[in-house]
Amino acid sequence: MTDQAGILPGISVANESHKRLAKRHAAERRFRWYGIFALLFALAFLVFLFGSIIGKGWTAFLQTSAHLDVYFDPAIVNPSGSNPVDQDELMRADYTKLARTALYKVLDVNTDERKERFAANKLLSRGVDVQLRDIVMNDPSVIGKHREVWLLAADDVDALLKGSIDRDIPEARRGISDQQVKWVDQMVDEGMMKKRFNTGLFVNGASSYPETAGLGVALIGSFFMMLTVILLAVPLAVAAAVYLEEFAPKNRLSDVIEVNINNLAAVPSIVFGLLGLAVFINFFGLPRSAPLVGGLVLSLMTLPTIIIATRAALRAVPPSIRQGAMGVGASKHQVILHHVLPLALPGVLTGTIIGLVQALGETAPLLMIGMVAFVADYPTNPLEPATALPVQIYMWATAAERGFIERTAGATMVLLAFLIIMNSAAVYLRHKFERKW
């Protein structure tokens, strides 16, 4: 633009303008590269993030177990010999001893050596008693018989087999002794110890031992919360959107509602947690850690998202359809119920899924209402204590044991899998029902 000399004839001037042009084109290329770098940065980070989580987490889906021939010694399980067996007695029996006895036999442990016994004991998870108890409780007829069972190995053994404990570092710093390593190798060679698919990750409740901790309670809690959101937020949001888009008169109240919804969508999620704590728990006296309260808070949080999406979907239905229906004498409600809403349904569904995705991944407000809880038993209704998937991740992420890092990454993969499935459903819906008017 300032290059007026360039239009004058003359070799030197032309040269000058040539140089200038080259410079400008170089600037153009640089600029273009900035954009490419920006996209590559985002991509690289995404790959880094997924890589790191999958790299750390995939092993969580496998868990080391030992195959032992356990003798359900009546003297230990049912010392009183009562028939039928006393349930309380079964609950209290020392099942760990059964497992250890079986292990000593396999490893040829000198049971008189306290130290050796201790070292062997450490190979098994502290959760084996529950495993054996469940077997007996389900089928008391095993008492007095031998049974081959897979019992969970200890966290450190699992880490050793997964390679997260380095065999080459000195014994003192390793956390697992040479003797134990030898035993583990021996059992692995004999096929008595191996990594198996970790169903416990999906069904177990909270536990202080990584190897027995699972997402069961969190999955149920999240399910209850999603149910609450679907039952509460979706109808409310659709009704609100229909009102605002189709009925609201142009007045102060409508403006207030409108501005309000837009701002509510940008309120930090943690503030919703404070609301839940102050209103639902302190004022209405609902129990802490209850999925119902979590669901209520998440419903309020996702309300604006679904309202905004639904309004967009309603707006996309062309006015000619409304006029056509009105022209044959349909009332406004009939027009909306019979024509507009059915046509807007795919958009509403997509918005709903996006809202659910947001709710499923949300953590901060749930911390406020006491979802950070150690819950070992399945909740049977939405008022019993539970955790949620992202909260479980938070709790494991802040736990000290090494085994929990792997669990956390595994749980993150489970969460991401859910989100990806839901998002894909939304994308699919959008494509399938996309309508050009």
Partner 1 sequence: MEAKLEEAQATRVQPPVEPEQMPGALPEDKRVLKMAAKDVNLWYGEKQALYDVSLDVFDNSVTALIGPSGCGKSTFLRCLDRMNDVIDGVKIKGDIRLDGKDIYASDVDPVQLRARVGMVFQKPNPFPKSIFENVAYGPRIHGLARSKTDLEEIVVQSLTRAGLFEEVKDRLDEPGTGLSGGQQQRLCIARAISVSPEVLLMDEPCSALDPIATARIETLMDELKSNLCIVIVTHSMQQAARVSERTAFFHLGNLVEVDDTTKMFTNPVDVRTQDYITGRFG
Partner 2 sequence: MSSLAILAFLLIAAVVAYFVGNYRSNAVSEGDSRILHSRPSYHGAYLAIWTVLPALLVLAVWSAAERPVLQYIAMQEMPQSVLDSSEAQKSLTMNVVDSIAEGLPKLSPQEYETVRKAGYGFVTTQDARDVLSKHHVILGSNPEPYLLRAADEYASKRELSRILLPIVCFGLAIGCFAWGYLRIRPKLRARNIVEHVMQAGLLAASTVAVLTTLGIVLSVLFETIHFFQLVPPADFFFGTVWDPRFSAAGAGPDSSGQFGLLPLLWGTTFISLVALLVAVPVGLFAAIYMSEYANTKVRTFSKPVLEILAGIPTIVYGFFALITFGPFLRDMGAAIGIDVSASSVLTAGIVMGVMIIPFVSSLSDDIINAVPQSLRQGSYGLGATQSETIKKVILPAALPGIVGAVLLAASRAIGETMIVVLAAGIAANLTLNPLEPVTTVTVKIVSQLTGDLEFNSPQTLVAFALGLTLFVITLGLNVYALYIVRKYREQYD
Residues at the interface with partner 1 (CB under 8 A): 249-250, 318, 320-321, 323-332, 334, 338-339, 343, 435
Question: Is the CB of 119 or the CB of 349 nearer to partner 1?
Answer: 349
Question: Is the CB of 142 or the CB of 321 nearer to partner 1?
Answer: 321
| Cβ at position 241, least distance to partner 1 in Å | 18
Question: Is the CB of 143 or the CB of 257 nearer to partner 2?
Answer: 257
Q: Which one-letter DSSP state was computed for residue 150?
A: E
CA 105, 108, 114, 120: dihedral to nearest 10 degrees? -70
State the DSSP string of 359-391.
Answer: HHH--HHHHHTT------SPPSSTTS----HHH
- CA dist 352 and 259 (Å) reads 21
- What Cα–Cα distance (Å) separates residue 158 from each residue in 46, 145, 211? 29, 29, 8
- 249's contact among partner 1, partner 2, none, with CB below 5 to 8 A by partner kind, is partner 1
| Cβ at position 256, least distance to partner 1 in Å | 18
What stretch of H or E contains 1?
Answer: none
- CA dist 303 and 233 (Å) reads 6
Distance separating the N- and C-terminal Cα atoms of the chain: 44
| Cβ at position 128, least distance to partner 2 in Å | 29
For 251, half-sphere exposure in the C-beta direction (CA atoms, 13 angstrom radius) is 4
> If we measure between CA atoms, which residue out of 341, 342, 352 comes closest to residue 246?
341
- 119's contact among partner 2, partner 1, none, with CB below 5 to 8 A by partner kind, is none
For 327, half-sphere exposure in the C-beta direction (CA atoms, 13 angstrom radius) is 6
- 56's contact among partner 2, partner 1, none, with CB below 5 to 8 A by partner kind, is partner 2
Question: Is the CB of 190 or the CB of 271 nearer to partner 2?
Answer: 271
- CA dist 16 and 10 (Å) reads 10
Question: Is the CB of 149 or the CB of 336 nearer to partner 1?
Answer: 336
- 373's contact among partner 2, partner 1, none, with CB below 5 to 8 A by partner kind, is none
Question: Is the CB of 275 or the CB of 313 nearer to partner 1?
Answer: 313
| Cβ at position 47, least distance to partner 1 in Å | 43
- 328's contact among partner 2, partner 1, none, with CB below 5 to 8 A by partner kind, is partner 1
- 114's contact among partner 2, partner 1, none, with CB below 5 to 8 A by partner kind, is none
CA angle 308, 418, 43 (to 5 degrees): 80
Q: Which one-letter DSSP state was computed for residue 286?
A: P
| Cβ at position 321, least distance to partner 1 in Å | 6
| Cβ at position 427, least distance to partner 1 in Å | 22
| Cβ at position 27, least distance to partner 1 in Å | 50
Q: Kindly state the tokens that stand for 408.
A: 């956390």
The residue to which tokens 């080259």 are assigned? 22
> If we measure between CA atoms, which residue out of 395, 266, 246 comes closest to residue 333?
246
Question: Is the CB of 9 or the CB of 35 nearer to partner 2?
Answer: 35
- 215's contact among partner 2, partner 1, none, with CB below 5 to 8 A by partner kind, is none
CA angle 309, 312, 315 (to 5 degrees): 150
| Cβ at position 357, least distance to partner 2 in Å | 6
Question: Burial, 319: exposed, middle or buried (Cβ in 10 Å; 0-12, 13-18, 19+)?
Answer: exposed
- 68's contact among partner 1, partner 2, none, with CB below 5 to 8 A by partner kind, is none
Question: Is the CB of 129 or the CB of 406 nearer to partner 2?
Answer: 406
- 412's contact among partner 2, partner 1, none, with CB below 5 to 8 A by partner kind, is partner 2
| Cβ at position 249, least distance to partner 2 in Å | 10
Question: Is the CB of 163 or the CB of 249 nearer to partner 1?
Answer: 249
- 43's contact among partner 2, partner 1, none, with CB below 5 to 8 A by partner kind, is partner 2
Query: Contact, 224 vs 295, CB < 8 A?
Result: yes
Question: Is the CB of 2 or the CB of 320 nearer to partner 2?
Answer: 2
| Cβ at position 225, least distance to partner 2 in Å | 14
